[in-house]
């Protein structure tokens, strides 16, 4: 589909900052200043899916809008496909696709096919190949049978498929997906993820923002975590597991633990971190384990005064990585 054969990264930002200023209060005399992005440095290679994770308000959508030329940065530089997003928008826009989560951006009173005709004209798809290309993308997203129905009759999942069809209609080299499965039922979300994976084989670079950890872990070979306007980590999922203290996690639950017992657990071989959480009357201890020396049985033996103790082991998840790193940033 895309011709992403140029050298260099797909995305490169240096010191990217975005400040929003507004007025509030009596007669709007009070000025507020919000730093959505605080000097973001990020490099994304071509030809893969790169994930950007972060809580609501972290700056994900602001970052995506700057990269896709919809918003100007306050400071810093951003290059997409080697071109400056503030100075070379006319070159970049025909080579970009943008899909925002939700139902906005479509015309509900006309058919899906007519929506795509309208956007094909906007994107400059040659008239001689317009109908053929529309049919191709409708088949790609499994909407050909519904192409001539009004969009207002579409389900939310169908509308998201039409968004994706619009995003790839003009054969972009890079596709920005901002929360592409938000609000979708599990079947529609799975179909959307399958379609996203298939685009990479066409040579499209995909920049994906999401707060669904399992989705990022399934789709993205590399990812970054954005918190409070800053990149707090960037790597593969496996390396991020090592960053927070290990690939193994052991969870321990009971009605309470003494300080001396916590000290014993911290002294076990390979224990890098213990996170405590309350669940009603229960207390859960989450142990990050770097080595294989400490086992479930070893943890149980270290807490002999707990006949109702629950101990289980699991692999450290991307959600664990995310929560640990974001919590550290907040502190």
pLDDT, residue 223, reads 93
pLDDT, residue 242, reads 83
Pairing of strands 83-84, 75-80: antiparallel
Q: Are residues 173 and 272 in the same domain?
A: no
What the block records as the tokens of 292 is: 């294989």
Closest CA to 184 of 155, 206, 147, 210: 155
Q: Are residues 279 and 152 in the same domain?
A: no
Q: Are residues 219 and 294 in the same domain?
A: no
Q: What are phi and psi of 232, to 5 degrees?
A: -100, -15
Q: Is the residue at 253 inside a domain?
A: yes
Q: What are phi and psi of 149, to 5 degrees?
A: -90, 155
Q: Is the residue at 5 inside a domain?
A: no
Q: Are residues 52 and 192 in the same domain?
A: yes
Query: Which CATH number fits the domain that encloses residue 96?
Result: 3.40.50.300
Q: Are residues 168 and 305 in the same domain?
A: no
Closest CA to 64 of 218, 226, 228: 226
Q: Are residues 172 and 67 in the same domain?
A: yes
Q: Are residues 84 and 195 in the same domain?
A: yes
3-state secondary structure the chain: CCCCCCCCCCEEEEEEEEEEEEEECHHHCEEEEEEEEEEEEEEECCCCEEEEECCCCCCHHHHHHHHCCCCCCCEEEEEECCEECCCCHHHHHHHEEEEECCCCCCCCCCEHHHHHHHHHHHHCCCHHHHHHHHHHHHHHCCCHHHCCCEHHHCCHHHHHHHHHHHHHCCCCCEEEEECCCCCCCHHHHHHHHHHHHHHHCCCCEEEEEECCHHHHHHHCCEEEEEECCEEEEEEEHHHHHHHHCCCEEEEEEECCCCHHHHHHHHCCCCEEEEEEEEECCEEEEEEEECCCCCCHHHHHHCCCCCCCCEEEEEECCHHHHHHHHHHHHHC
Angle at 163 between CA 157 and CA 169, to 5 degrees: 135
pLDDT, residue 5, reads 42
pLDDT, residue 3, reads 41
Q: Is the residue at 71 inside a domain?
A: yes
| Residues 240/233, Cβ–Cβ less than 8 Å | yes
Q: Is the residue at 148 inside a domain?
A: yes
Q: Are residues 200 and 268 in the same domain?
A: no
Tell me the pTM.
Answer: 0.83
Domain count, the chain: 2
Q: Are residues 196 and 79 in the same domain?
A: yes
pLDDT, residue 323, reads 84
pLDDT, residue 77, reads 97
In this structure, which long-range contacts are made by residues 185-189, counting pairs with CB atoms below 8 Å and at least 24 apart in sequence? 185/156, 185/157, 187/157, 188/155, 188/156, 188/157, 188/160, 188/161, 189/157, 189/215
Of 201, 222, 240, the position where a domain reaches its end is: 240
pLDDT, residue 244, reads 81
Average pLDDT, the chain: 90
pLDDT, residue 232, reads 92
Between CA 297 and CA 268 the distance in angstroms is 12
Under-50 pLDDT residues of the chain:
1-5, 330-331
Closest CA to 11 of 74, 72, 63, 55: 63
| Residues 23/29, Cβ–Cβ less than 8 Å | yes
Query: Which CATH number fits the domain that encloses residue 292?
Result: 3.30.70.260
pLDDT, residue 322, reads 86
Q: Are residues 162 and 28 in the same domain?
A: yes
pLDDT, residue 72, reads 95
pLDDT, residue 27, reads 67
Q: Are residues 97 and 73 in the same domain?
A: yes
Q: Is the residue at 2 inside a domain?
A: no
Of 240, 271, 297, the position where a domain reaches its end is: 240
Identify the domain containing residue 18 by its residue range.
Answer: 11-240
Of 240, 271, 301, the position where a domain reaches its end is: 240
What the block records as the tokens of 187 is: 């079947």
């Amino acid at each position: 589909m895309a011709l992403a054969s140029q050298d260099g990264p797909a995305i490169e930002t240096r010191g990217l900052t975005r400040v929003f200023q507004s007025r509030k209060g009596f007669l709007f005399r009070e000025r507020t200043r919000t730093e959505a992005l605080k000097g973001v440095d990020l490099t994304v290679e071509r030809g893969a899916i790169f994930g950007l994770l972060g809580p609501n308000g972290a700056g994900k959508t602001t970052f995506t809008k700057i990269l896709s030329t919809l918003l100007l940065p306050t400071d810093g530089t951003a290059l997409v496909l080697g071109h400056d997003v503030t100075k070379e928008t006319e070159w970049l826009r025909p080579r970009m696709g943008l899909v925002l989560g939700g139902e906005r951006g479509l015309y509900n009173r006309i058919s899906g096919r007519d929506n795509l005709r309208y956007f094909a004209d906007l994107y400059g798809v040659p008239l001689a190949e317009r109908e053929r290309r529309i049919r191709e993308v409708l088949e790609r997203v499994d909407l050909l049978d519904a192409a001539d129905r009004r969009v207002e009759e579409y389900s939310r999942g169908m509308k998201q498929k039409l968004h994706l069809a619009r995003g790839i209609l003009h054969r972009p080299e890079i596709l920005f997906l901002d929360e592409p499965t938000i609000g979708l039922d599990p079947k529609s979300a799975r179909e959307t993820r399958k379609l996203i994976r298939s685009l990479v084989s066409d040579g499209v670079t995909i920049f994906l923002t999401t707060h669904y950890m399992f989705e990022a872990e399934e789709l993205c070979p590399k990812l970054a975590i954005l918190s409070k306007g800053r990149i707090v980590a960037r790597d593969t999922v496996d390396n991020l597991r090592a960053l927070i203290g290990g690939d193994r996690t052991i969870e321990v639950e009971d009605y309470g633990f003494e300080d001396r017992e916590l000290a014993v657990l911290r002294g076990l071989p390979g224990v890098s971190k213990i996170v405590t959480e309350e669940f009603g009357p229960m207390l859960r201890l989450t142990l990050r384990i770097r080595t294989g020396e400490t086992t479930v049985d070893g943890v149980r033996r270290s807490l002999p005064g707990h006949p109702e103790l629950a101990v289980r082991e699991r692999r450290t998840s991307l959600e664990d990585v995310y929560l640990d790193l974001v919590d550290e940033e907040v502190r």
